[in-house]
């Protein structure tokens, strides 16, 4: 399949809006594999004058052959880094949304620095495409951020009670949305938000960078996200989500700048992402205490592959702490972490309810870690005092294998909940080299049970060591997840 669209011919369908005519010709060529190039060409116009065209060829895989296209500049966009493009984004998206049921549309953001307030994606079958040299700069003016209701599965904002600032790019109840680029940049300009958070000056919960709710068929790919005010990518109550080829960076001291947080989602693939952040690189969630229990929507069928993480005070992959709707069937492989607090960390507490089960992690290379394995049953942090003290989380069937770690302070700190042990833990084929300043006791296990084989240093007694003849390899499922 090969299609070529001439952008100028589409433009004539537009109502007159007084846009600057440009020499820009955009051809969108959809083939099955991606190729991106910007070519500066010269040609002669009808009067024989030499004119320059910039031709953008871009295309990406599968779910997104869009019939209609528009460039931000045609809606009054100015990429000088200081002019507000809030209206240009709204006009562009409003205009393009009319093609929702006519083959969908793509909004192209050319090279430049595009300052804008938050904007909503309002159309199905929609692609936002950032040129390699396009930088979206999130406005630091709080009045440009609508305050919206808290998520029903959280009952309140995380920073403050009550509402929350809308995310920089927000959408709800959408199908087939692609946010992508040739590694273009989305800059959350988070610093003033971090300062206000530290000083307790925020009236509402900080915005996330990208949040899509109740959506199906989402792809976020080939982008660089920097300095989010808080979490970066937050797909919530959604299914069939791919996050791929995304670089996320924020100062390692910035508060709550989690990388990717699938929250009550089904069928999610996170692949080939590189994350440096002040909080968990990937944090898998599903609602908070009584609100999450009532909402009852798990995160399941999550596949994480080739993740590289640097996060000195947080986890490579966190399961929780908000997990009250349940987390199940998580597979992770080929994970690299450097100077990160822990590998996979399970965080939960009395009052959470829900479960974390059927977790399969294999192939981790870790360097300079506080804990390779960490499970915490007393994480605390409740939305309010109305949580049910009898709502105990179930943590079971947790499998880790094929792990090499060096410069580690403590091999494993596994703390279940008294009266509610974490069970079915299996750790195999793991080599941990302790640091010079390592804790005397490499493992500390309480209220857990499981087995181990081929693990050095020798695990705690609660992880019963299997003889060679049993050689359990924490049997991993052989069938693939749908999204894989």
Asked if residue 221 binds ligand NAG (CB under 6 A), the reply is: yes
Asked if residue 470 binds ligand NAG (CB under 6 A), the reply is: no
Tokens 């595009």 — which residue? 114
Instruction: Give the separation between CA 162 and CA 174, rounded to whole angstroms.
Output: 25
Residues contacting residue 18 through CB under 8 Å, at least 6 positions apart: none
Asked if residue 442 binds ligand NAG (CB under 6 A), the reply is: no
Asked if residue 289 binds ligand NAG (CB under 6 A), the reply is: no
State which of residues 22, 175, 407, 466 lies at the interface with ligand NAG (CB under 6 A).
Answer: 407
State which of residues 124, 187, 341, 402 lies at the interface with ligand NAG (CB under 6 A).
Answer: 402
| List 279, 289, 329, 402, catalytic entry | 279
Asked if residue 6 binds ligand NAG (CB under 6 A), the reply is: no
- Smallest gap from residue 64 Cβ to ligand NAG (A): 9
Q: What is the largest CA-CA distance in the chain?
A: 86
Q: Are 278 and 264 in contact (CB under 8 A)?
A: no
Of the two residues 274 and 387, which places its CB atom closer to ligand NAG in the complex? 274
Instruction: Give the separation between CA 262 and CA 363, rounded to whole angstroms.
Output: 21
Instruction: Give the separation between CA 427 and CA 413, rounded to whole angstroms.
Output: 13
Asked if residue 61 binds ligand NAG (CB under 6 A), the reply is: yes
348: its two tokens: 């939960």
- Which positions from 361 through 390 interact with ligand NAG, judged by CB under 6 A? 368
Asked if residue 34 binds ligand NAG (CB under 6 A), the reply is: yes
Q: For residue 279, indicate whether it is catalytic.
A: yes
316: its two tokens: 């490579």
State the virtual CA torsion across 198, 203, 204, 207 in degrees, nearest 10.
-60
- Smallest gap from residue 384 Cβ to ligand NAG (A): 23
CA separation (Å) from 308 to 87, 136, 270, 340? 37, 24, 11, 10
Tokens 């490499």 — which residue? 442
Say how far residue 300 (Cα) sits from the centre of its chain.
15
Asked if residue 120 binds ligand NAG (CB under 6 A), the reply is: yes
Binding mask 65-94 for ligand NAG (x = CB under 6 A): -------------------------x----
State which of residues 127, 167, 247, 399 lies at the interface with ligand NAG (CB under 6 A).
Answer: 247
Sign of CA dihedral 328, 211, 291, 420: positive
Of the two residues 222 and 230, which places its CB atom closer to ligand NAG in the complex? 222
Beta bridge partners of 233: 210, 260
Query: Nearest residue by C-beta to ligand NAG?
Result: 34
The span of 214-222, 288-296, 310-318, 390-398 binding ligand NAG (CB under 6 A) equals 214-222
State which of residues 77, 207, 229, 245 lies at the interface with ligand NAG (CB under 6 A).
Answer: 245
- Smallest gap from residue 351 Cβ to ligand NAG (A): 18
- Smallest gap from residue 90 Cβ to ligand NAG (A): 6
Say how far residue 10 (Cα) sits from the centre of its chain.
34
Residue from 179, 202, 190, 303 nearest 257 by CA: 190
Asked if residue 214 binds ligand NAG (CB under 6 A), the reply is: yes
Asked if residue 38 binds ligand NAG (CB under 6 A), the reply is: no
Cα–Cα–Cα angle for 460, 464, 468, nearest 5°? 115
How many residues bind ligand NAG (CB under 6 A)? The answer is 32
Instruction: Give the separation between CA 170 and CA 122, rounded to whole angstroms.
Output: 9
Asked if residue 230 binds ligand NAG (CB under 6 A), the reply is: no
Q: Are 223 and 198 in contact (CB under 8 A)?
A: no
Question: What are the start-end ranges of the E strands in 102-238?
Answer: 105-109, 112-116, 119-121, 126-130, 134-138, 147-148, 164-165, 169-172, 175-181, 184-187, 210-213, 216-226, 233-236
The span of 167-175, 198-206, 279-287, 475-483 binding ligand NAG (CB under 6 A) equals 167-175
- Which positions from 133 through 162 interact with ligand NAG, judged by CB under 6 A? 146, 148
SS3 22: coil
- Smallest gap from residue 54 Cβ to ligand NAG (A): 19
Asked if residue 36 binds ligand NAG (CB under 6 A), the reply is: yes
State which of residues 58, 60, 95, 168 lies at the interface with ligand NAG (CB under 6 A).
Answer: 60
362: its two tokens: 């294999």
Residue 263 DSSP class? B
Asked if residue 429 binds ligand NAG (CB under 6 A), the reply is: yes
Residue 419 DSSP class? T
Instruction: Give the separation between CA 80 and CA 239, rounded to whole angstroms.
Output: 37
Which active-site residues does the annotation give?
279
User: What does the binding site for ligand NAG look like in residue numbers (CB under 6 A)?
Assistant: 34, 36, 60-61, 90, 120, 146, 148, 166, 170, 172-173, 180, 183, 214, 221-222, 224, 244-245, 247, 368, 402, 404, 407, 409, 415, 429, 435, 441, 444, 446
């Amino acid at each position: 399949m090969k299609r070529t669209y001439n952008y100028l011919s589409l433009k004539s369908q537009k109502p007159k809006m007084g846009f600057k005519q440009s020499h820009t010709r955009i051809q969108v060529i959809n083939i099955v594999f991606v190729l991106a190039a910007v070519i500066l060409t010269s040609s002669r116009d009808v009067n024989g004058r030499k004119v320059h065209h910039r031709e953008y060829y871009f295309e990406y895989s599968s779910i997104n052959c869009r019939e209609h296209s528009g460039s931000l500049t045609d809606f009054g966009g100015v990429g000088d880094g200081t002019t507000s493009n809030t209206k240009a984004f709204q006009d562009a998206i409003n205009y393009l949304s009319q093609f929702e049921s006519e083959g969908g549309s793509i909004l192209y953001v050319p090279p430049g620095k595009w300052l804008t307030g938050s904007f909503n994606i309002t159309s199905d079958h929609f692609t936002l495409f950032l040129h390699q040299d396009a930088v979206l700069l999130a406005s630091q003016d709080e009045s440009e951020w609508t305050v919206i209701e808290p998520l029903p599965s959280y009952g309140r904002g995380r920073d403050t009670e009550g509402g929350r600032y809308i995310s920089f790019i927000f959408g709800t109840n959408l199908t087939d949305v692609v946010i992508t680029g040739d590694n273009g940049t989305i800059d959350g300009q988070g610093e003033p938000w971090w300062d206000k958070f530290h000083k307790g000056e925020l009236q509402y919960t900080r915005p996330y960078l990208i949040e899509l709710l109740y959506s199906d068929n989402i792809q976020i790919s080939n982008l660089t996200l920097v300095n989010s005010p808080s979490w970066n990518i937050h797909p919530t109550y959604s299914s069939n989500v791919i996050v791929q080829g995304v670089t996320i960076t924020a100062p390692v001291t910035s508060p709550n700048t989690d990388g990717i947080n699938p929250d009550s989602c089904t069928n999610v693939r996170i692949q080939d992402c590189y994350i440096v952040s002040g909080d968990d690189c990937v944090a898998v969630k599903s609602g908070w205490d009584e609100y999450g229990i009532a909402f009852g929507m798990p995160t399941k069928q999550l596949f994480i592959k080739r993740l590289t993480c640097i996060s000195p005070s947080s986890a490579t992959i966190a399961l929780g702490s908000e997990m009250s709707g349940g987390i199940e069937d998580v597979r992770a492989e080929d994970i690299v972490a450097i100077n990160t607090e822990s590998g996979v960390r399970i965080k939960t507490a009395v009052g959470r309810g829900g479960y974390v089960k059927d977790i399969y992690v294999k192939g981790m290379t870790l360097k300079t870690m506080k804990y390779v394995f960490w499970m915490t049953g007393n994480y605390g942090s409740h939305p309010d005092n109305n949580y049910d003290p009898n709502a105990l989380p179930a943590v079971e069937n947790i499998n880790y294998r094929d792990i090499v770690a060096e410069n580690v302070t403590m091999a494993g700190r596994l703390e279940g909940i008294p009266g509610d042990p974490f069970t079915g833990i299996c750790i195999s084929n793991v080599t941990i080299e302790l640091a010079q300043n390592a804790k005397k006791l490499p493992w500390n296990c309480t209220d857990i049970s499981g087995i181990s084989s081929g693990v050095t240093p020798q695990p705690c007694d609660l992880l019963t060591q299997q003889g060679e003849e049993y050689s359990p390899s924490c049997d991993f499922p052989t069938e693939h997840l749908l999204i894989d």
